[in-house]
A and B are shown apart, each in its own frame.
Chain A
Amino acid sequence: MDILYFAWVRERIGRPRETLDTNAATVAELVEELKSREDRYAAAFSDLSALRVAVNQELTDFDASLEGAREVAFFPPMTGG
């Protein structure tokens, strides 16, 4: 599964993307797995209310299932326009 990071999430984690083999069933489980890896992940994911997530390029929430997920992206609230 490809994991993508944007804006300050990318900066905090220190990379724009990575590929991960995971058994996580939901986004929340994936977040827990990432947080347990290193401090910089724990810091980036410390406040989920400040984050948004997309699975396969569709906005979703942290309870979402990862069944069929090829790409998961984490980022702050969007500031377009």
Chain B
Amino acid sequence: MGMTISEKIIAKACGRETVTPGEIVTCQVGLAMFHDSSGPRRQAPALKELGRDVWDPDKVVCITDHYVPAVDALSAEILKITRDWCAEQGITNFYDQQGICHVVLPERGHLHPGLFAVGGDSHSPTGGAFGAFMIGIGATDMTGVLATGEIWVQVPHTIVVRWSGALAPTVTAKDMMLALCARIGLNGAGYKVVEFMGEAVTALPMDERMVLPNMTAEVGAKTGIIAPDQVTLDYLAGAGAATEGALDWFSDDDCVYEQVLEFDADALSPQVAAPHSPANSKGVETYNGVRVDQAYIGACTGAKLADLHMAAEVVRGKKVAKTTRFMVAPASTRITQAAAKDGTLETLTEAGAILLPSGCGACAGLGAGVLAEDEVCISSTNRNFQGRMGASSAKVYLASPYTVAAAAVAGRIADPREFVSAGALSP
């Protein structure tokens, strides 16, 4: 009997020929990533207590993104602890204020197909876009990994999400994931791997593919994964990542999937998730006209270069509504650089966008752009749980960068298809 790509990666990591869903195995960790919030401030004292150093500094990547740049003494102190500890432990893969961990990690060539990786953040499944098996873990679990280089996992069952057809202009990977959240709910893939496939998935560029496993966190999955192909290889080569044997990682024809969910990309329209759950997603027309105080382009999900391009297409030559704040926090400094070079930042700022630093920012309720009581925000981020982006009574609607930008211009939730003609879209 064949294995899924996830089972193959787990089997290799635990030194076995085969594994079966439900088994508990101990895996050797190929890469451990954490950030300033989940990282050294938590692990340093615990490792000291254990009398251990990091098992293999070359397999560790630390990225500051939650408290950047420091806005008060408390956040400055957390960042200082992070920097000092990385220096002390000889962590050379340390990216300080370079962007959000899930975006910086692949950008700097740390991910490749077949890699078994753990991340100290719930959106770590993003790594699955590159054919890695990457799961999110908590701080003490990370301490265990750093001390031993290994972690126990239960081999998950795999659910297939297959998108046939082709997405219409202004319909995006984000809309695909909001539709999935609505269909299967916040626990629809509990403990499972979601493997994405189908022609609408393989047609996506890497920036868009990343959104799919990223938001498997919103359906309770252990992780998400996409089998690597030429698009993946081209990205990896550009990032200086390992590409050898990359295409050897795929699910066998005779592997066992627990369930196959079919979706039709041709029928998908721009989606909007109402407060306070990503599963409250419906077609944009349902929420048309809802007034917004803020439109936010940010986070690991919705502020990559492709996302900034989408927003720019909508606002080009227009002005942001007077009653709405339009905030853009590019997901990494490299993205900012590229968007500056290709004119995207000019388009956005001429329309009235306010640029914010690269980091988790308002999405995690930590950085610039948080909301006051009862304020309404439409956001390209991944979750809209109550109180997440600021005040407890603030209302956050989730949508694609196109739909967020359309709301910024209209001052209310609006259909992005009315703002962008198909011919105007960049390739």
The answer on A and B forming one complex is no
On B, residues with C-beta under 8 Å from A are: none
Give residues in A with beta carbon < 8 Å to B: none
